[in-house]
Structure 1
Amino acid sequence: MRTCELDGQAGTLHFIHFSSTEIFSFLRLAESMGISTSSTTICATGGGAQLLEDNLGELKHKIGTKVHKYDELDSLLCGIHYIESCKPLRECFYFEMDAEHKTYTKTPFDFSDAYPYLAVNIGSGVSMLAVYSPTEYRRITGTRCESFEEAIELAEKGDSGLVDKLVRDIYGGDYPKFNLRADTVASSFGNMCCKWRRELAKREDLARATLTTVTNNIASIARLCAVNEKMQRIVFVGNFLRYNALSMHMLTHAMDFWSRGSLKALFLEHEGYFGAVGCIVEHLRSSKKTQ
């Protein structure tokens, strides 16, 4: 990511993505690259930070460096605010849908006057954060979910209409009286009550239906939180959305449905990396204060 300035130095941020379970591979890589000659500190946040701390002795032995842990949600929001300030980057966007919800067009969104907004962080869990300023936020609520990386690969090939009972299965098409489209979910996994429909459904269809249920629930809860907090901007972030256009499209659809078109699902270009950036920024700021 270019056009960034940290600690008075302008340059490019580089990201390497690997699972936290590969921490020992990271240690070998850091050792082979002689990382201690250019840095004496590793900043860590999120679940992976605990793994780093658990292996702190080996870190010091192998690469001669210290670990500084930072709060996950503090780092997330710090990273969002920092990257958004790196002009002329256009970080925020949403998807415009066509009338049939078949085509999604990526559209920039001006996030320069963001506050207040709701941040929905989707990772191994889900946190709803009401953000009032760069330094003021509170966690409203949250839900739990598991990793969906493998399931999403299946979901991209599946048809949730073979698993979920849709409005068209009940009324034969649209239900105009209540503005319900034929493809609206009436009952998640509702078709699985029927034996012959169960036999038609493949793993891909079940994965797609699961993802539809999850994104519908997340969007519904996010919309209720935003209404309760009187917020008009809802930003979805987190590792769950990294390289995951399908879930972004489904959240776009769900938010449009639950809010009746009054709220947009907003996303950010560098999904999954804000916590990493934020804890570095926090470390540099705290280091300056102690100097």
Structure 2
Amino acid sequence: MNSPKMTLINKGIALKLLKRVDVLSESQSLALDIGGSLAKIIYFQPDGARRTTEKTDGIPKLCIDYLDPKREGSSLSVRVPELNGTLHFFCFETRNIEDCIKFISEHYRQNGKEKRRVRATGGGSYKYDKLFSEVGVELIKLDEMRCTVAGLTFLLTHFDHEVFSFLYPDGTLPPPGLPESAPALAECRRFVDARPDPFPYLLVHIGSGVSIVKVTGHGKFERVSGSTIGGGTFWGLCRLLTNCKTFDEIIELTKEGNNERVDMLVGDIYGGDYSKIGLGAGVIASSFGKVTMRKEPPPTFSNLRKAWRRVVCGTFWLWCDFMLNIPILGHFLRRLGLDKHLRSRIANIHFGKIFRAEDVALSLLRMISYNIGQIGYLNAKRYDLPKIYFGGNFIRDHPYTIASISYAVHFWSNGQTQALFLLHDGYLGALGAFLGGESTISENSYSEL
């Protein structure tokens, strides 16, 4: 069940990783990171295990029929000859956790043992512990922060071509333009080599909220700050304002947006640059500031016709939304992609002619990203830490998110500090749980792999 839209794991890195992983006896196949918004799973499927016969690129697909890909079952499967099996990384929305539990109950088997034990981290490992126990699964709970730090430190110390900074092809880092004109992310990555001693560093982990962690050595870390304004804020506001149902729908919406129609820029206030304090005309002065400048249309016949047109179109799209909820017919319409097209249409009925759902989503993305970049830099300055790593499923390898965070750090630090990212940042906690919460592994622990 591979996702063509989002590569969450680099195959080469996954293969290297498996040569170093010590799979503990109580959890040979599975590790979970259950967050407030997304659940991440690492699953190892031995050859000969029950699976579908369909293959993708020679890799047997994971038998995960209960997790509908329409509900964010993003995955990547990696065939590993050294281990005689396949490793699967995937994530989905936490609100579908019952599907995950059903999947574990149906497909996860512990050889020769009645009780199934699974390593898990994240707040959901406590919240949903009772549900797991009802299907005979005992969660071996590992500290979330320890697992996240362990996963990141392991990547920093073992793998090249994993950590990168963001710069445009010409070596500059201007304010992000429109997504449609942005260069491909592959052209903007500047990879950083692994090093045996990456300490000290600051981790800004963006989940539903934001945790900021100072790391000074293996197993030595301290949560020094945080914020309630994180990925859950972005997702929640977008769901309220745009009618989108999934995170990926929102991200797709931002690709067609223009936040300048919603945000108040320096140029809107001063008519151009504010050169005395170094602010260009394109710098955002107030997120959603232009909404306050909106003038209500006067009651003319022309505006009445426009309002009537919106009523007619809105009624049509609402009927389409009704049909999406009809059994069988709704499933067929979703396969045609009507649901994705419908979300922005319904949202735009509410916004009217002046604002669009695409612009609102992009403005929200920039607002949240800039805020996170700024508090990350301020904490790095406070503790005199030279490196800031941004991780979490909010980033999702989305170029515009990465560009916005990078620009925020560059702007507030006057170019003295770089924002650093990872290829598979969303799985730090799950990786740490898979490693048992340790960031160092002895040669003896994987010499047989």
Q: Distance in 2 between matches of 1:177 and 1:38?
A: 73
Give the equivalent residue in structure 2 for 1:194. 293
Aligned to 1:219: 373
Secondary structure of the structure 1 residue equivalent to 2:202: strand
RMSD: 2.7
Deviation of the 1:217 alpha carbon:
1.2
Q: Give the secondary structure class of the aligned counterpart of 1:226.
A: helix
Gaps of 5+ in 1: none
Q: Is the 8 A contact 1:127 1:139 kept in 2?
A: yes
- Counterpart among 419, 422, 426 of residue 268 in structure 1: 422
Partner residue of 2:110?
36
> Offset of 1:179 from its aligned partner?
2.1
SS at match of 2:92: coil
Residue 141 (structure 1) aligns with: 225
Conserved? CA contact 2:393–2:425, under 8 Å: yes
Distance 2:395 2:94 in 1: 17
Q: TM-score, normalised by structure 1?
A: 0.86
Alpha-carbon spacing, 1:163–1:284, altered in 2? closer, same or farther (3 Å): closer
Aligned to 2:121: 45
2:110 partner SS: helix
Quick check: 2:410–2:417 contact (8 Å CA) kept in 1?
yes
Letter of the 1:82 counterpart = F
Matched to 2:22, the amino acid is D
Deviation at 1:51, TM superposition (A): 4.3
Q: Bigger shift: 192-201 or 41-50? A: 192-201
**Matches for 1:213-252 after TM superposition, within 5 Å:** 213-252=367-406
Normalised to the residue count of structure 2, the TM-score between the two structures is: 0.57
User: 1:73 and 2:145 equivalent?
Assistant: yes
Distance of 2:290 and 2:108 partners within structure 1: 57
Structure 2: 5+ residue runs without aligned partners? 1-13, 25-81, 177-181, 236-246, 297-350, 443-449
Residues 13 and 259 of structure 1: is their aligned pair in 2 closer, same or farther, counting only changes over 3 Å? farther
Which of 190, 196, 206 in structure 2 is aligned with 1:107?
190
Counting matched residue pairs gives: 281
8 Å CA contact retained: 1:239, 1:272: yes
Q: Distance in 1 between matches of 2:145 and 2:437?
A: 15
Larger CA deviation: 227-236 vs 12-21: 12-21
Q: Secondary structure at the match of 2:273?
A: coil
Partner residue of 1:2? 15
Report the CA distance between 1:284 and its aligned residue.
8.2
**Distance of 1:205 and 1:37 partners within structure 2:** 53
SS in 1 for 2:89: coil
CA distance in 2, matches of 1:71, 1:8: 18
| 8 Å CA contact 1:23, 1:51 repeated in 2 | no
**Amino acid paired to 2:404:** M
Contact 1:114/1:233 (<8 A) preserved: no
CA contact (8 A) 1:2 1:13 kept: no
1:175-222 deviations in Å (ceiling 9; x for gaps): 333222221011222111112498522122112112211111111111
> Displacement, 1:8?
8.1
SS of 1:36's equivalent?
coil
